Amino acid sequence: MRFDTVIIGGGLAGLTAGISLQEAGRKVAIVSAGQNAMHFFSGNFEDAGPVRDRVAALFAAAGVRTNATDGLQLMAMGKFKNVSLTLEDVTVFPDEHIAEKVLLVNFAGYHDFFGTFIAETLENLGISCRIRFVRLAEMESLRTSPSEMRSVNIARMMDEYWEKVVTDIRVLHKDEDLILLPQVFGLKDAAVLDKIRKALPARVAFVGTMPPSVPGIRTQMLLKHRFEVLGGTFLMGDEVTSAALHEGIISSITTRNLDTVRLFADHFIIATGGFFSKGLVSTPTQVYEPLIGLDMDYSEDRNAWYNEEFFESQPYMNFGVKTDAELHPFKDGEPIRNMYAIGSILGNTRKEDFGTAAGLAIRTAFAAADAIKGGNV
Ligand SMILES: Cc1cc2nc3c(=O)[nH]c(=O)nc-3n(C[C@H](O)[C@H](O)[C@H](O)COP(=O)(O)OP(=O)(O)OC[C@H]3O[C@@H](n4cnc5c(N)ncnc54)[C@H](O)[C@@H]3O)c2cc1C
């Protein structure tokens, strides 16, 4: 099988690059092994500021609604965080004084939404916060097992039963000017969020839960759908197992499911993620990139890998594959001229140019896609 570009990894970086190339009429395949960081997404695209209009437009065409407003996000653990581009699910507050009185609503038996932490933060700010629970008969089957009472299972139910929850909240509401709810609504369709906002008698804000992230999963599904609608080939649940590299050029790759069938392309993008997605691997003695054995930018002194102060920034977060100015990774000291490394496989090695986190994923995806569109091999 032949493509213009094969992308290895279908997380935020791979999908953004894939959509950008498909929009330009290129023939692209994405091979994606499994879960990615979007499944744990807070809703905040950190460090995406410099490209926020461009990415907001790409997302909008995919049906992913964003909020490009500078302000504060109330996080799952009750802390505030500065944001400049979020999913539309996130309410962005101008300052910490988010309300006079808050009603925080949770589901009985749901432990992945930390209402008490959030209430404590708010009380410390002089904002009164009343916590109340909704108990739907339809959720009894989930409540029998704590492992079933997870955000995505609740969200699947809420696609059907959100109106019942709204009815219960209307009964619980007194004089609060803000209602806080867990982000377990609108898994299939974010329009449900608007309907809930309209149906309740006060402002509504949705606050993150423990993973999996409902807004993150919805975003991943919409981006994948957009890529496929544009004509892209998405090989879900498959894994690239080898790459044919000769004199600085990759000609083809193999995957676990396609067995002997090779995928040929003019360009390759490696977007296999960081340690979390096994795009990078560490053993007690080394840190390496497992697919091609790309050259790494990291300290060989193991004592320099981590900071014993657990909550301090950790040096291993800076480790990633080594790239040249155009994001070509190196193998044995030589750049691979038709491959681009993007997203968290870079660690923080290109922080100065492309930022970190989701911003790094998006900005390097655009850079690689632009280079391929411009013919810069
Ligand atoms: C748990 C977690 C939560 C995060 N939350 C946020 C957040 O809220 N906001 C933010 O700004 N940043 C966040 N980040 C930073 C995050 O890294 C970026 O936001 C971004 O989503 C990373 O995207 P990526 O595409 O580079 O990698 P990933 O999302 O990790 O995707 C890599 C994909 O490649 C696949 N893969 C790996 N090897 C192969 C192979 N051989 N063949 C085929 N596929 C392969 C993996 O299965 C995975 O699907 C978070 C990171 C983590 C780990």
* Distance from residue 11's CA to the centre of ligand 1 (Å): 5
What is the CA(36)–ligand 1 centre distance, in A? 5
Q: Is the peptide bond before 290 cis (omega within 30 degrees of 0)?
A: no
Q: Is pLDDT above 70 for 345? A: yes
**Whole-number percent of the chain with pLDDT over 70:** 99
Distance CA 75, CA 81 (A): 7
| pLDDT, greater one: 148 or 201 | 201
Cβ of 45 below 6 Å from ligand 1: yes
Q: What does the pLDDT average to over 22-47?
A: 96
Which pLDDT value is given to residue 301? 84
Average of pLDDT values for 10-28? 98
| pLDDT tens-place string over residues 130-156 | 999 999 888 887 777 767 888 999 999
Quote the ligand 1 centre to 114 CA distance (angstroms): 25
* Percentage with pLDDT > 90 across the chain: 86
Is 361 close to ligand 1, i.e. is its CB under 6 Å away?
yes
Give, for ligand 1, the residue of 7, 32, 356, 362 to mutate: max count of ligand atoms closer than 8 Å to Cβ: 32
The ligand 1 atom nearest the CA atom of 241: 41
Ligand 1: atom nearest CA of 360 is 18
Q: Which of 19, 41, 86 for mutating ligand 1's site (highest number of atoms within 8 Å of CB)?
A: 41
Kindly give the distance from the C-alpha atom of residue 361 to the centroid of ligand 1, in angstroms, as a whole number.
8
Confidence of residue 369 (pLDDT cuts 50, 70, 90): very high
Which residue has its alpha carbon closest to ligand 1 atom 23?
12
42 in ligand 1 pocket by Cβ < 6 Å?
A: yes
The 10s digit of each residue's pLDDT in 321-330 is 999 999 999 9
Phi, psi of 101 (to 5 degrees): -135, 135
- Ligand 1 within 6 A of 240 CB? yes
d(CA 355, CA 56): 17
User: Side chain identity at 33, as an amino acid letter?
Assistant: A
Mean pLDDT of 343-370: 97
pLDDT at position 376:
52
- With 80 as the cut, is the pLDDT of residue 377 above it? no
pTM of this structure? 0.95
At position 163, the amino acid (one-letter code) is: E
Tokens linked to 304? 């320099």
Average pLDDT of span 170-188: 96
Q: Domains in the chain, start-ordered, CATH in brackets?
A: 2-61+217-303+314-373 (3.50.50.60), 97-212 (3.40.50)
Gap between the Cα atoms of 149 and 109, Å rounded: 7
- Asked whether the predicted pLDDT for residue 304 surpasses 60, the reply is yes
31: Cβ contacts below 8 Å, ≥ 6 apart: 6, 7, 8, 9, 10, 235, 238, 239, 240, 253, 255, 263
How far is the centre of ligand 1, averaged over its atoms, from the C-alpha of 216 (Å)?
Answer: 11
Say yes or no: CB of residue 15 within 6 Å of ligand 1: no
Predicted pLDDT at 325: 96
Output the CA 102–ligand 1 centroid distance in Å. Answer: 34
What's the confidence (pLDDT) of residue 286? 92
Centre of ligand 1 from the C-alpha of residue 227, in Å:
18
* Distance spanning both ends of the chain, measured CA to CA: 21
**Ligand 1: nearest atom to the Cα of 34:** 47
What number is the average pLDDT over the span 198-203?
97
Is the CB of 271 inside a 6 Å radius of any atom of ligand 1? Answer: yes
Average pLDDT over residues 210-236: 97
At 278-294, the pLDDT tens digits run 999 999 899 999 999 99
Distances (CA, A) of 315 to 46, 148, 301, 318, 356: 19, 36, 11, 6, 14
Residue from 344, 350, 362, 364 whose mutation best tests the ligand 1 pocket (most atoms within 8 A of CB): 344
| Cβ–ligand 1 contact at 38 (below 6 Å) | yes
Average pLDDT of the chain, as a whole number: 94
* Tokens 């309907």 -> residue: 195
